[in-house]
A and B are shown apart, each in its own frame.
Chain A
């Protein structure tokens, strides 16, 4: 059953790709092997960003800010200017760059530990100042890099190495819906939640990332795309099970769609 589904997903993906045809590596994506685990959402999101940058023809204007998390060495994969940032300070670093180089396109790439825990102040204030930057927020519900600990986004009841019996509200509080929180800030202009668990959702994610970059290109202000993403390794699941989990569980708590648009 599962195998059949995998085949189906694969086939749809291939069919979709063939329809667009010329399925080739984006110029902004280096021709190297990525270190992400099999079935990890990060690789897909990397590619979507690179496709978007190529399509807008902004590769030579882009400056990326990489997070501390599994995507810490994103600069090994992206063929444009990229800087590192301390854990969670990513939006502050992007603010410094964008204010000095307003003609460049500046984006951050952040996990849910980076953005929704240690960097909560930085993301809220960057959004509130209406910084004209784009944030790609990869929500996989765990801390991947450090070994699968609970993240602020971990669902209630979800087991992780630091919530052995599952996340309890009493001890750990509620999972944070960052986009809904940010949406009350007038400075935050474009907010959309997407997922990369199926070919169809990936296409939607691509459109959202594109819209977010366009928001910045048009000088409209702060844009953020939250991507529900698989971490098969620390969910203790296969790739297929992980995709299903987003479809059936994660996206019911974190609804997919545009949260706010200008």
Chain B
């Protein structure tokens, strides 16, 4: 069946047993909010159109405290508002899924697709030392599949997980296959607040006032983040073994980069592609392992250059890292990418 990415994302959440959604309208993710309103009604879950993104993320906080699978979605300006809540969720070790269908910025920007929120997604965004898992699907099908996976990851690590899409992915209609997931048990949550019947009272907090207590808490969080780094990195690689030039791109841009790569290959140029699927944890090793062999990296983003910094950190100077980006709703074309590839080949 055909579905737009926003709807596919919503259905992925429903399949995962999401029982609570709160959101505030913002383009280009409005289809998702509307889809959740409809599907929550049909599945007996809770849907709330909140008074703001601040309220929405904190309603999700409450639902997560109570132990259910909860989600919110927005686009760039709304995600900025949610950052306070995301920091609290991470500090309190509460699972939830946050969808960001990025649009052009800064400020009100526009409603065209963009990837300018990479930094705020993977570098923390809110205050304090924390990380959230960031997944970057590249199609409507992947939006469904990775949203589903996002809920499992969130519960497994008791941490917020973000789906980082963009307006293009959210609004494009694509064929979808809906998996059957019947009888899948949800994770037990022995930490949730449900009333203290038959047990000791519990509390959930991110405040640690005792001498050294907050440092201990932070150490525990860092240990968890290291575990996530060890276990959850995902990336797709194409034609990288013999490549002289490796493209690095995520989400919708990765599909365009792939087309650019194919144009290059058709001209006999040795071009490969690395597509990070988890933006945090970042597939550093995949990039590092090949960085001795490949001559050049070309990072393509719909931003002024954000993920490129993580690629450079992974390459550690072993190869040249170049960048091609479009901003403010500009979408790179495969021809533009090919041109850039050809220029790089000529240079060397």
On A, residues with C-beta under 8 Å from B are 59-63, 65, 72-73, 75, 78-86, 89, 92-101, 104, 121-122, 124-125, 129
Contact = CB atoms under 8 A, between A and B. Distances in A.
Interface in B5-62: 19-20, 22, 46, 48, 50-52, 54-56, 58-62
Given A96-B66, A125-B51, A82 B201 contact: yes
Nearest to B19: A100
A86 B59 CA distance: 11
Tell me what chain A mostly uses at the interface: helix, strand, loop, or mixed: mixed
Nearest to B54: A89
B204 A84 contact: yes
Contacts of A124: 51
Nearest to B197: A60
A93 B198 CA distance: 24
B65 interface: yes
Interface of B: 19-20, 22, 46, 48, 50-52, 54-56, 58-68, 70, 84-85, 88, 92, 193-198, 201-207, 209
A65 B59 CA distance: 12
Contacts of A94: 62
Contacts of B195: 60-63, 80-81, 101, 104
A101 to B, nearest CB: 5
Given A121-B51, A121-B52, A96 B59 contact: yes
A95 B62 contact: yes
B205 A81 contact: no
A96 B58 contact: yes
Given A72-B207, A96-B22, A96-B70, A83 B85 contact: no
A84 B62 contact: no
Contact of A101 (B51, B59, B66, B198): B66
B193 A86 contact: no
Contacts of B66: 63, 96-97, 100-101, 104
A83 B195 CA distance: 11
